[in-house]
Structure 1
């Protein structure tokens, strides 16, 4: 299995096909983030692939040790030599692993306990479990809560879990205490005026609760 980047903070670079959003991801890496997850549900396949091809080297220029993963588009991850992330739809974990090889970082988006041991998750290196708290990115989806996160981490073990959804720096300690290896963040970095400062706040919180 591939190991998680350290520190275990995944930036969900949602809408990264926008130049402004891509710039925010680069700033976060300059501030110390070492894992960027490329996601854009609205982008057409060609636009997604082109934007990923352009952004990946920019991120690596900002930090040579940055890990880049691609949401859902396993073909893009394969073409660019990146990690990938799958879920309930599209390629399964086993299918993605066969395409990407043993060294690629491979994850799965989970929302309930059964997914931790389901057939689709075979071969994954980590889980995003969401939403833990209320989140503006999914306002209609009720939060699972910390106790559900705790229960999922127990079921998923030994595969590490990153908490996602409404994560603030102040909530990092609660998520770590529930068993999460780290956190994944979208709006807390991508939707603020100072992404560098926001990224550093999450990194400090993770360091304090390592």
Structure 2
């Protein structure tokens, strides 16, 4: 079975809908909207705003976690953690035509992810990350190479502690796409970061 490639080498993760427009305008074509701790009404408003920004700027939007809303609103992709696989209605997600990404941190988690036929898998943290307390140590770029050999043409996303300087080594090691939160939206010039990441990852190997 062959898998469709992701639409971009870079994959910013953002915590507000406005970033979808700002980074999309700068050239990002794959953006994850990861929202936490919002009341239901505010959550739905923010997701709808993210979808509108994505459509306006030609962005493929990935919604983290809220698969029921993703089905109702027609989001492009849903990203699920391992614990989400316990409760998500995967047949309903597929029936809605939504593509699926899954987080992995270990061999066992990779096997589980592959068992649900995702459209990409993410491996992390490649380097130490400050954003979340992680039970796993840094995976390193060698693990990216191992994962890629294991999954073939299924797209592999590298995440966790990745900076502009580190992104090319992830692509060189086998990742199809590199993802980050801090190195985009926590920087003084997020749009400039998008352009710099696109340039840095384009040079490593052809899509």
Q: Deviations over 1:76-101 (max 9, x none)?
A: 11011112111211245983353343
Match of 1:134 in 2: 128
Cα pair 2:126 2:160 within 8 Å, conserved: yes
Over 3 Å counting, the alpha-carbon distance change for 1:98 and 1:163 in structure 2 is same
Cα pair 1:126 1:162 within 8 Å, conserved: yes
Structure 2 Cα separation of the partners of residues 164 and 78 of structure 1 = 25
- Cα displacement (A) at 1:139: 5.3
Match of 2:147 in 1: 152
Q: Deviations over 1:37-94 (max 9, x none)?
A: 1102333444322210122112321x2x310111111011101111211121124598
Task: Give the gaps of 5 or more residues in structure 2.
Answer: none
Q: Deviations over 1:3-29 (max 9, x none)?
A: 34422221111x22xxxxx33332111
Q: 2:69 aligns with which of 73, 76, 94?
A: 76
Cα pair 2:3 2:155 within 8 Å, conserved: no
Task: Give the gaps of 5 or more residues in structure 1.
Answer: 17-21
- Cα displacement (A) at 1:150: 2.1
SS at match of 1:170: coil
Q: 2:50 aligns with which of 40, 52, 55?
A: 55
Over 3 Å counting, the alpha-carbon distance change for 1:48 and 1:94 in structure 2 is closer
**RMSD over equivalenced CA pairs, Å:** 2.4
Over 3 Å counting, the alpha-carbon distance change for 1:174 and 1:180 in structure 2 is same
Match of 1:101 in 2: 95
| TM-score, normalised with respect to structure 2 | 0.86
Cα pair 2:104 2:113 within 8 Å, conserved: no
**Pairing of 1:1-210 with structure 2 (within 5 A):** 3-13=4-14, 15-16=15-16, 22-61=17-56, 63=57, 65-82=58-75, 83-91=77-85, 95-101=89-95, 103-118=97-112, 121-138=115-132, 142-210=137-205
- Cα displacement (A) at 1:149: 2.4
| TM-score, normalised with respect to structure 1 | 0.85
